[in-house]
């Protein structure tokens, strides 16, 4: 018992998002967000994050809505990173929001969208001020 294969304890290797314009997506993820572009294959772009690959590809049916998922980027430097991304034209939906507090840290979120309406967010455990 307990020896059956399962997904428990496995790493998530890749997340995929749909887009309507590959050039616009490349400029957003590579140039605005600064993600390293690993390679392009067909109508897909592959970006490397720490321990995870992000695939952004053309939507199979362009008339269908895009979105439905939310991708969170680790950002313990959420305040300075948010400022840097705003300087590159990223529009956040609101200022950073604290969603959890511990004795030593605050978990902050700051949400934004890519050009195709996919929801993205910065999420960081930030040390609390003394």
**3, part of any domain:** no
**2, part of any domain:** no
**1, part of any domain:** no
Give the CATH number of the domain where residue 86 resides: 3.10.180.10
For residue 16, list its beta bridge partners.
55
The predicted structure's pLDDT at residue 8: 80
The predicted structure's pLDDT at residue 7: 65
**37, part of any domain:** yes
The predicted structure's pLDDT at residue 12: 82
Q: Count CB atoms within 10 A of the CB of residue 16.
A: 12
User: Cα angle vertex 41, ends 39, 45, to 5°?
Assistant: 55
Is the separation of the CB atoms in 49 and 89 below 8 Å? no
Q: Domain containing 29: what range? A: 14-60+67-127
Question: For the chain, what's the residue count?
Answer: 130
pLDDT in tens, 55-99: 999 887 666 677 778 899 999 999 999 999 999 999 999 999 999
Helices (H), 12-77: 22-26
Closest CA to 36 of 15, 54, 16, 24: 54
> What's the order of all strands across the beta sheet hosting 119-127?
70-74, 119-127, 105-113, 97-101
Closest CA to 32 of 88, 76, 106, 78: 88
**85, part of any domain:** yes
pLDDT in tens, 35-54: 999 999 889 999 999 989 99
**4, part of any domain:** no
The predicted structure's pLDDT at residue 77: 92
**99, part of any domain:** yes
Share of the chain above pLDDT 90, in %: 68
C-alpha 97: how far from chain center: 17
What is the pTM (predicted TM-score) of this model? 0.77
Q: Structurally, how many domains does the chain consist of?
A: 1
């Amino acid at each position: 018992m307990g020896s059956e294969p399962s997904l428990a304890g496995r790493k998530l290797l890749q997340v995929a998002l749909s887009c309507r314009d590959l050039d616009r997506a490349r400029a957003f993820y590579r140039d605005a967000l600064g993600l390293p572009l690993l390679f392009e294959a067909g109508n897909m772009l592959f970006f490397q994050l720490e321990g995870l690959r992000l695939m952004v590809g053309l939507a199979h049916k362009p008339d269908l809505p895009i979105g439905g998922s939310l991708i969170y980027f680790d950002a313990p430097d959420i305040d300075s990173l948010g400022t840097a991304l705003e300087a590159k034209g990223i529009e956040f939906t609101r200022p950073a929001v604290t969603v959890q507090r511990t004795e030593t840290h605050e978990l902050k979120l700051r949400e934004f969208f890519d050009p195709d309406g996919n929801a993205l967010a910065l999420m960081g455990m930030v040390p609390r001020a003394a």
